[in-house]
Amino acid sequence: MGPSIFEQTAPFCNGKGGGRSGRVPPCYTPSAVIAGWCWELIEPYLRRNLLNRGLARPTRREVLGEFARVWPDITATIGVQAPHAGTVRFKWLVRVPAPELTPFLEDPEGWIGTRFGGGKFKMNLHHGLHFVNTKNFKPEGEPRWPAAPELLLD
């Protein structure tokens, strides 16, 4: 795999840092701003899509174009690890569409903690029905998620 899009795109990415590590800057595209930690999750999917269409070595413009194409259909589904019958399962709590993701992307643990309290959470990214990637979060605080209704997944 070639260099990261961040190694190629000074005009699109600033140096403020993203995520908890502070290593990856947010990426600015013509249609969206995305946190660096989330770009790291989405970029491999974008490159696979382009490879499947015959672009083995896509340019920065092609990767960003693919991002602009798929972003409107991206959703983040957030669940929490919940004890169940002597084991654990995920209780799915919310599905957030791309146009509403900005506050979550800016501070995922704060966003989750404010709504659901503490616990072990998983975020799954999907593009339509296609799985994109996953990331775990563990916000501190008293769990409030047991009182939240469970999201019924189709």
Tell me how far apart the alpha carbons of residues 51 and 33 are, in angstroms, rounded to a whole number. 24
Pair 88, 139 in one domain: yes
Pair 85, 97 in one domain: yes
Pair 47, 84 in one domain: no
pLDDT higher than 80, residue 94: yes
Q: Quote the domain boundaries for residue 78.
A: 74-147
Provide the pLDDT confidence category of residue 124 given band limits of 50, 70 and 90: very high
pLDDT higher than 90, residue 32: no
Number of domains in the chain: 2
pLDDT higher than 80, residue 20: no
Pair 78, 127 in one domain: yes
Pair 62, 88 in one domain: no
Residue 154 lies in a domain: no
**Residue 128 pLDDT:** 95
Mean pLDDT across 82-96: 94
Pair 28, 78 in one domain: no
**Residue 28 pLDDT:** 52
Pair 64, 79 in one domain: no
Residue 152 lies in a domain: no
Pair 99, 48 in one domain: no
Pair 85, 141 in one domain: yes
pLDDT higher than 50, residue 138: yes
Pair 12, 67 in one domain: yes
Residue 39 lies in a domain: yes
pLDDT higher than 50, residue 3: no
With 0.85 as the threshold, say if the pTM is over it.
no
**Residue 95 pLDDT:** 97
Closest CA to 60 of 110, 122, 7: 7
Give residues with Cβ within 8 angstroms of 41, minimum separation 6. 125, 132, 133, 134, 135
Provide the pLDDT confidence category of residue 27 given band limits of 50, 70 and 90: low
pLDDT higher than 60, residue 58: yes
